[in-house]
Structure 1
Amino acid sequence: MRERAAAPPTRGHPRCDRAPGRSSEPEPRGDLRGLVLALGVVFGDIGTSPLYALKECIHPARGVPTTPADVLGVLSLVFWALTLVVTVKYLTFIMRADNGGEGGILALLALVPERLRAVGSPRLGWVPALGLFGAALLYGDGVITPAISVLSAVEGLTVATEALTHAVLPVTCVVLLALFAVQSRGSAGIGRVFGPVMVAWFGVIGGLGAYHLWRNPMVLGAVHPGHGLRFFHDHGLHGFAILGSVVLVITGAEALYADMGHFGRRSIRLAWYFLALPGLVLNYFGQGANLLLHPEAAANPFFALVPRGPATYALVALATTATVIASQALISGAFSLTGQAVQLGYLPRMQIRHTSHESLGQIYVPAVNWALAIGCLALVLGFRESSGLAAAYGVAVTGSMTITSALFYVVARHTLGWSRAASLLLLGLFLAIDLAFLGANLFKIRDGGYIPLLIGAALFTTMTVWKRGRALLAQAFRDLMIPLAQFERQASAGHELTRVPGTAVFLTSNPEDTPPMLTHHVRHNKALQRSVVLLTVSVERVPRVAAGVRLHVTELGPRFYRVIVRSGFMQGTRVPALLRGAVDAGLLDVDLDDLTYYLGRENILATEAGQMGRWTEGLFGFMMRNARSAAAHFDLPAEQVVELGIQIDL
């Protein structure tokens, strides 16, 4: 038996040649171009929160009066939410837990040691369960964000003139359809268009806020946290419930982390500190200053920053464009989460298109794109106004933020090697904020907060059933497998086995024993190709595996090879190209011009006899039948693929 590798020889399976959290590729530069691109995709959600956040806090029906004490109290909560959650929690600490440059809750989960993630086990431990539910909640957030953002911007038309009230819903639907229709162009292409617009957006909202702040500078006192504490003292439980509206100012924080792999940590931090944060703080404080001078502006404090008339129309046009960008942050994050979930084995295979030659993190997932589009349109037509959608907003955001804090504690303690005291201290600080926001949003569940929870529960069920089904399926295959030495004895026991020209490649998830497809093929055909390759694709817990260590080849016998391909969870696996590279490098001696790929096709029976149960096994079987085929996933030529069927009851 001889081992060959595309890198210096290693013992056994090659291990990752870098620590978790380190990428094999350099992080994107934090230059001006990267800053503008990051603004065009990452900061749209949090950047357009001024359209509706303060309005919900002082809404005549649900908010607080526009007295100086209450306005200062709300502004104080807004300022410290931006500071503690976005600046301290995410940009200072959470973004340190990058998995090879990639961010997001599943990338964070992949950093958790395997013993805590129950890798390969049908049972789902509490750590992966938290991570999967947090990811599922983000999908719910991704449905609501485009709907509320675009709808709140288009509603500015009613501030200019009530005659355009009937046009709000049709215009919103058209804008949303156009947004989802251009997703196939990729986030980099969109970012090049949207980036300059977001620079203008933050400049305009910051300038408007600064003007009104100059007219009434007393609101600068809201920086003192005492105003926020006094607000809770004065309003009691109702003041606590207002936190459910204050959380709207930080709804894009999780997207900053999820989109880190698209543009890099440095670009995101520079964009936040030098443009996004100043623009947001100036605008919120400017809205508060104007409210104290004109309490009637509470109906829509953002559009009240400009005089009614042409200025309003211009601001509506800019705001609508900016909210389209706001939606992009969550859509890009949903694509990234889906790609990670597929590679990590939490979702069925689906079509994923890479949209950039420069960054592997920029992808487009058609199925997710149009599912989000349908969900957004349904919410707009169902709720019909942004205030109604605001009630549904926040539950998913605060839930995923809380879960991120818990997972970061596990990573800091067990992967980064932080002390227990430091990890617990940071966890306590994060949870004190997250649980307060989450508790306040529980008041919204009856008014629409159940929507993201239902979406999250459905996706969580899908992911857990898929993971459990795949683990049981792998276990069933292991029971069918026999040691390679036993297969060789059985194959050579008789003289009826004929060797024919060509190469047979058997794809198998087990890197040690004989795949059932091989024994099935030999038993029924009484023949075997002259060259045989047993190929296993192993998905690592890093985003990308360097080209030099992706292939590990072991020669089991004359023209009989075992090939292990290592792929990152953000990395595609084109098997024909990898095999061609192995042949060119002298690692394989096979005939690629006469090659056949053998795949297994499992028919799930879904009876009461299995471990999963009829309902869950039926759901798993449905997903198996509708998943993207392994041939398409691994870029195998259709004319060279043979599928061998097997019936299994899990």
Structure 2
Amino acid sequence: MMKLALGAIGVVFGDIGTSPLYTMKETLGTHGMTPTPGAVLGVLSLIFWSLIIVVSLKYVTFVMRADNKGEGGIMALMALAQRSMSGSARARWILGLIGIFGAALFYGDGVITPAISVLGAVEGLEVAAPSLSRFVVIIALVILAGMFALQRHGTDAVGKAFAPVMIVWFVVLAVLGVNQIMQHPQVLWALSPVYAVRFFISHGYASFIALGGVVLSLTGAEALYADMGHFGKKPIRRAWFFFVLPALLLNYFGQGVLLLNNPAAIESPFYLLVPDSLLYPMIALATAAAVIASQAVISGAFSMTREAMSLGYSMRMPVVHTSREMSGQIFVPWVNRMLMVLVFGAVLGFRSSDNLGAAYGIAVTGTMTMTTLLALVVARRHWHWNWVVLIPVGILLLTLDLAFFGANALKIAHGGWFPLVLGVWIFIVMTTWRRGRELVIREIKQSGLALEPFIENISEHPPLRVPGTAVFLTANQNAVPHALLHNLKHNKVLHERNVLLTVETLETPTADPGERIEITELGGDFYGLSLRFGFAEDPNIPRALSKCSKLGLPFDMMDTTFFLSRETIVADARRPGMALWRDKLFAFMARNALPATAFFQIPGNRLIELGAQVEI
């Protein structure tokens, strides 16, 4: 338990752990706010109760109960919610849209987090040596370039250093805060919610705008849930309540004391806590913590992309495993390149953590709201919560989420548009791929021949049979695969044994051994075979076929040939379905997607592909 808790400190809490770098500065130093005693105590009270209600109660206590066979994250939560609504296709469709929009906003968070974390850390140079301030952006870009370049080597070796660095980081946060609080312990009165209420009453509309800065203290809350499958609930909960939360609160309240004594310190309240002699080591430590925080978000984007591919919401891409021991440690080159370009664009466009703070909250609060909606569905349908309990919990959580979202929506014109536009575009791409695949499968099913009469006709008029096994990948077990028809038509032969193979992705992260393989004898040496994989698994068809011998269908890979139809998508405005521009977008993605054979790890020397044109 202790080992897992230490590992969670190193990986899970990097994002939320670096939020003290910029939260107080963004909340009290912009949008016309001034660090008066009432404002400082009010913001501290808001930060405290936000961490208690949103992170401690919502995520750590409530949402983390919604594990999908131990896996967390919004994609796993969406699959769990959809499974609980198995009887309603419309409800499943709505839940899918909610989950995908939350996931799309998570990618926006994945762009902003590395930029704001690294910039916020490097900006300590402006305090230590103001003459170096013009080099902050360049140094940040160099650090980010190195971080993205190292992704292909995986986080296995680097991850061993994460926990010690983050433990030192949180200890330093706590020590810096305690040093200030001892000088002015009255600041702890801000633990009372009365000060938050007074802040709203005295500051009016400005207090609502300040919520857009307070939400920065919650960044990384989604990581607690997303990384649950790697460490488990109890280690994350213990690390949060007994180590991370106290360290964060002590540092925030320490910054509060500094601002009470010296309001001008709002220019950099975090670094002005640090003694001058330790400023450069602190900048180095903060930069290391920021890189770790960025690493966690980037790794989360890789994992979410793999889950989206398995669930049919993303085009297939190459996935590289960077560890032989941990299947969850993966590298997705295409996502890494896109994130790097977008992060560089964010750094060059916004140029400071202050400007990025205005762009940050919209993506985080959007994902938080989607998570709440899905978790409430699970609580009602899966846990069978009574409405008497569910309604008050839902009102409390959604009120907070929507208040934070509304406060950040006010910053759309000041940079919030960037992650929002990015999230909307990713949402369009993911839903277009999903809908396009549905249209392709529909066209294939409509144009296919019925399987049962075909097998009867083969029995009555047998063609030439050749030795070996032919495996035809198909999405419809009741129709004759196009590849089989083309092979019979052009080559005039049929294999001794023919297997119609369908690959299904379950709404659980892993498939149970009993549901992995289903074999149906169709007669005439034809067999139907269904292979099922969880959305967090890599679908390896040859490995799964090797286990079929125990169920009476042995495979000799050297005597087996795989047949697959490769569809060429043609956009046709006359056909119902999607708008023409979405048809063309889907056709472009289909041309550039990783071939299904590579995705399913089928050896190229055992494969025959036959072309087929599909109009949508």
* Structure 2 partner of 1:557: 523
Q: Are 1:476 and 2:446 counterparts?
A: no
* Paired residue type of 1:46: I
* Structure 1 partner of 2:28: 58
Of residues 25, 33, 36 in structure 2, which corresponds to 1:67?
A: 36
* Structure 1 partner of 2:72: 103
1:331: Cα distance to partner? 1.1
Q: Are 1:47 and 2:47 counterparts?
A: no
Does the aligned pair in 1 maintain the 2:546–2:555 contact within 8 Å? Answer: no
1:108: Cα distance to partner? 0.7
Aligned length: 615
Q: Deviation digits for residues 14-57 of structure 1, max 9, x if unmatched? A: xxxxxxxxxxxxxxxxx222122211211110000000000111
1:533: Cα distance to partner? 1.3
1-structure distance, mates of 2:64, 2:547: 36
Of residues 391, 399, 403 in structure 1, which corresponds to 2:366?
A: 399
* Paired residue type of 1:348: M
2-structure distance, mates of 1:46, 1:65: 25
Does the aligned pair in 1 maintain the 2:48–2:191 contact within 8 Å? Answer: yes
* Paired residue type of 1:376: V
Deviates more, 1:291-300 or 1:436-445: 291-300
Of residues 271, 287, 290 in structure 2, which corresponds to 1:320?
A: 287
How does the TM-score come out when normalised to structure 2?
0.96
Deviates more, 1:537-546 or 1:44-53: 537-546
* Structure 1 partner of 2:466: 500
2-structure distance, mates of 1:400, 1:311: 37
1:371: Cα distance to partner? 1.1
Q: Are 1:614 and 2:584 counterparts?
A: no
RMSD (CA atoms): 1.8
1:609: Cα distance to partner? 1.9
Q: 1:97-496 counterparts in 2 under 5 A?
A: 97-114=66-83, 116=85, 125-308=93-276, 310-495=277-462
2-structure distance, mates of 1:136, 1:115: 23
Q: Are 1:33 and 2:3 counterparts?
A: yes
Q: Deviation digits for residues 46-76 of structure 1, max 9, x if unmatched? A: 00000000011111x4252222211111100
* Paired residue type of 2:606: Q
* Paired residue type of 2:39: D
Does the aligned pair in 2 maintain the 1:131–1:407 contact within 8 Å? Answer: yes
2-structure distance, mates of 1:532, 1:194: 51
Q: Deviation digits for residues 408-448 of structure 1, max 9, x if unmatched? A: 11111122222223222211110111111111111110000
* Paired residue type of 2:372: S
State the SS of the aligned residue for 1:64. Answer: coil
1:590: Cα distance to partner? 4.4
CA 1:150–1:568 in structure 2 vs 1: closer, same or farther (change >3 Å)?
Answer: same
Does the aligned pair in 1 maintain the 2:359–2:415 contact within 8 Å? Answer: yes
1:521: Cα distance to partner? 2.0
* Structure 1 partner of 2:62: 93
2-structure distance, mates of 1:63, 1:206: 30
* Paired residue type of 1:620: F
* Paired residue type of 1:641: L
* Paired residue type of 2:563: Y
CA 1:117–1:51 in structure 2 vs 1: closer, same or farther (change >3 Å)?
Answer: farther
How does the TM-score come out when normalised to structure 1?
0.91
1-structure distance, mates of 2:83, 2:283: 50
Does the aligned pair in 2 maintain the 1:601–1:643 contact within 8 Å? Answer: yes
Does the aligned pair in 2 maintain the 1:56–1:63 contact within 8 Å? Answer: no
* Structure 2 partner of 1:14: none
1:367: Cα distance to partner? 1.3
CA 1:442–1:643 in structure 2 vs 1: closer, same or farther (change >3 Å)?
Answer: same
Deviates more, 1:591-600 or 1:182-191: 182-191
* Paired residue type of 1:44: G
1:605: Cα distance to partner? 1.2
2-structure distance, mates of 1:244, 1:307: 30
Q: Deviation digits for residues 357-378 of structure 1, max 9, x if unmatched? A: 4443332222112211111111
Does the aligned pair in 1 maintain the 2:548–2:555 contact within 8 Å? Answer: no
Q: Deviation digits for residues 575-628 of structure 1, max 9, x if unmatched? A: 112212323x36214443122111111111102122223211111111111111
CA 1:279–1:266 in structure 2 vs 1: closer, same or farther (change >3 Å)?
Answer: same
* Structure 2 partner of 1:592: 557
Does the aligned pair in 1 maintain the 2:119–2:137 contact within 8 Å? Answer: yes
Deviates more, 1:531-540 or 1:203-212: 531-540
2-structure distance, mates of 1:175, 1:215: 37
* Structure 2 partner of 1:16: none
2-structure distance, mates of 1:232, 1:542: 44
1-structure distance, mates of 2:87, 2:213: 38
State the SS of the aligned residue for 2:182. Answer: helix
1-structure distance, mates of 2:280, 2:402: 40
Q: Deviation digits for residues 111-161 of structure 1, max 9, x if unmatched? A: 12358589989x983221111111100000100000000001001011011
Does the aligned pair in 1 maintain the 2:82–2:92 contact within 8 Å? Answer: no
2-structure distance, mates of 1:535, 1:126: 30
2-structure distance, mates of 1:510, 1:351: 26
Q: Are 1:604 and 2:569 counterparts?
A: yes
* Paired residue type of 1:264: G
Does the aligned pair in 1 maintain the 2:83–2:507 contact within 8 Å? Answer: no
1:459: Cα distance to partner? 0.5
Deviates more, 1:410-419 or 1:500-509: 410-419
Q: Deviation digits for residues 469-521 of structure 1, max 9, x if unmatched? A: 111111112112333221113334545x1101121110112234332322232
1-structure distance, mates of 2:32, 2:300: 31
1:186: Cα distance to partner? 3.2
Does the aligned pair in 2 maintain the 1:480–1:516 contact within 8 Å? Answer: no
Does the aligned pair in 1 maintain the 2:44–2:256 contact within 8 Å? Answer: yes
The structure whose residues are more often helix, as a share, is 2
* Paired residue type of 1:526: K
Does the aligned pair in 1 maintain the 2:471–2:560 contact within 8 Å? Answer: yes
Does the aligned pair in 2 maintain the 1:103–1:260 contact within 8 Å? Answer: yes
CA 1:380–1:326 in structure 2 vs 1: closer, same or farther (change >3 Å)?
Answer: same
* Structure 2 partner of 1:6: none
2-structure distance, mates of 1:235, 1:166: 35
Deviates more, 1:112-121 or 1:128-137: 112-121
* Paired residue type of 2:65: R
Q: 1:514-529 counterparts in 2 under 5 A?
A: 514-529=480-495
1-structure distance, mates of 2:162, 2:218: 21
State the SS of the aligned residue for 1:417. Answer: coil
Deviates more, 1:112-121 or 1:595-604: 112-121
1-structure distance, mates of 2:248, 2:239: 12
Percent of residue pairs bearing the same amino acid type = 48
Does the aligned pair in 2 maintain the 1:42–1:259 contact within 8 Å? Answer: yes
State the SS of the aligned residue for 1:503. Answer: strand
Q: Deviation digits for residues 154-185 of structure 1, max 9, x if unmatched? A: 01011011121122112111111111222234
CA 1:115–1:215 in structure 2 vs 1: closer, same or farther (change >3 Å)?
Answer: closer
Of residues 47, 56, 80 in structure 2, which corresponds to 1:78?
A: 47
* Paired residue type of 1:103: G
1-structure distance, mates of 2:84, 2:398: 25
